[in-house]
Amino acid sequence: MNDVIIDVTEKSFPVLKALRADQLVPFTERVGDLVLSLPRAELSMTIATGVDMFNSVPDEKMGAFNAVVKEEFANLKTDSCTLIPLPSATTANAFVTFASTNVDSAKLSDFRSKWGPALGSLPTTGSAICLPPVESLDRLALAQAEIGRSFGRVESRQLSKYINPKDGLLTQSAALAIPVPDALSLLADAKRLTAATGPEKTAFRFAGMKVESVVKRDATLETLAATRRAK
């Protein structure tokens, strides 16, 4: 699994480096507006269960992750690094406002305490963030994958109820709330988010497909192992 993670990370570098602010910012604003137009109760529950999942990371895992993030970004300065654009600040603030008024404040406080150190280590200008070198991205990606493996199973399953395409409440609502023309337009706009070359985009897409394949394989093996243990 680590090999395919490193592969997709390295293939993502030229795509990330060529991100276009003039496309990324309005694209994320459109996506944000569509998501925030979903039914309040279901969106609130989805955000709350997502926060629960991120808060479920054990402290020792979080400590190791924070150390990697701090080390890999320590020498990057916004006046000299390669900057790539961040998503819309307006949209990010809208989600923060929605969460602060619709999600339990204790959960949000726990989230800020747990994830604040990592977020505080990121060198940003407010509209852009430093892009680490490929070697650092590899290490960061592996650390992120380790965090993903440490999410609580109960919390992860609860979140999947709202985002799973087969039976998720949010997905069903989204299908009703987002007109097909808008969805197709977003897909077309997504192709213009980066000025990377065609071969670079293709290499990144195929690397992503490898990751998906390995994830599905591992999930299947885990299910079979759980079934055998239950017998």
The domain limits of the chain are 1-18+194-231, 23-178
The confidence score (pLDDT) of residue 39 equals 84
Identity of residue 126: G
Residues 6+ apart with CB under 8 A from 50: 159
- CA–CA gap between residue 116 and residue 131 (Å, rounded): 20
- CA–CA gap between residue 68 and residue 12 (Å, rounded): 20
- CA–CA gap between residue 218 and residue 148 (Å, rounded): 14
Q: For the whole model, what pTM was predicted?
A: 0.82
Which residues are registered as beta bridge partners of 92? none
DSSP 88-129: PHHHHHHHHHHHHHHS-HHHHHHHHHHHHHHHHTS-B-SSEE
Q: Is the CA virtual torsion 161, 66, 9, 142 positive or negative? A: negative
The confidence score (pLDDT) of residue 81 equals 96
Q: Please write the tens of the pLDDT for every residue from 60-74.
A: 999 999 999 999 999
Q: Please write the tens of the pLDDT for every residue from 86-132.
A: 999 999 999 999 999 999 999 999 999 999 999 999 999 989 999 99
Backbone angles phi, psi at 35, to 5 degrees: -65, -45
Q: Please write the tens of the pLDDT for every residue from 196-212.
A: 999 999 999 899 888 88
- CA–CA gap between residue 26 and residue 124 (Å, rounded): 19
